Amino acid sequence: MLSLLLFLLVTLSIVVSARPTRIHLLALWKLIVDHHYPAKRSISPPKFSKAIALGAFKDGGGCKNSQDITSDLLFLADQGYDMVRLYDIACDQVSNALSAIKQESKLSQMKLLLGILTLGEKLSENVGLLAAQVAGRWESVYAVNFGNELVETGKMTADQVIRDINTGKSLLSGQGWNGPSIIIDTWVAIANSPSLCTAGDFIGANAHPYFDLHTEAATAASFLTQTVIPRLKSACSTSSSTILITETGWPSSGGDKASSSLQATAIAALESLPVPHVLFEAFNEPSKATNSGQPVEGFWGIYTH
């Protein structure tokens, strides 16, 4: 309070001596507001070597059990991944993954990007369920994400998502998590709704070059570096250091431009991206093709094991 009073006295003396115009007064008022209420600024995503997304369901659609999750994580660790994105709390996936990390020495340095898919009326309940599965093991958590492409799909407005992440962060703090919390949407949705840029602690954007009509597998990385990242930097008035590409990949089947060879070409290109990114995804999820009615949705898996 004393520092505020001193600041106001100094600025008042400047005002009196300078005989300011209305423009000067407006500029001075902005200076005072900016000094005491600085705009929220995004941070850089925490560092990792390689990251990939992992689904919680078996080929037939049933839940993976703890042994399945452990096997998946051990396999991914052998491929050099030290950060894995999980999407939700279904199937006890958070608990199973954290238990594997604690039990397997090979996984001791692995971090998890956790997620809560359903917000709105279920937000408080789902934060509680997430915290229960974490059971205090926050040291293995990379960040917590609220929602996935909710604005892009029209399920929520940008204002609603921002409201819920603010509520969610407060709830998580009460559960012991004070690390990064983010929202994830498509790069197009974020660019078109810049208020999303600072909703989380850093920007989480899904970006799939496959869906761009003018992009081929060999130029997948160029689409991100020449189109996606510049657009986000401009819309969000930020640098690329605050951006995490939370999904990017290429399908091996189910649509035009989708084949195993093209996928291999695209993934090789995407792995050289100069910005942090999460490859999509570890293994095929055929049930997604059935549930969505879009064959390509089930065949983004990079590995089999």
Q: Which residues are the active-site residues?
A: 247
Distance CA(147)–CA(292), nearest Å, equals 18
- Written as one letter, the residue type at 204 is G
Per the document, the length of the chain is 305
Q: How far apart are CA 206 and CA 148, in angstroms?
A: 9
- Pure H helices in the chain: 2-18, 22-36, 66-78, 93-103, 123-134, 158-174, 187-192, 220-223, 229-236, 260-270, 286-292
3-state DSSP assignment of residue 250? coil
**What is the number of other CB atoms lying within 10 angstroms of the CB of residue 9?**
10
Distance in angstroms (rounded) separating the CA atoms of residues 127 and 252: 35
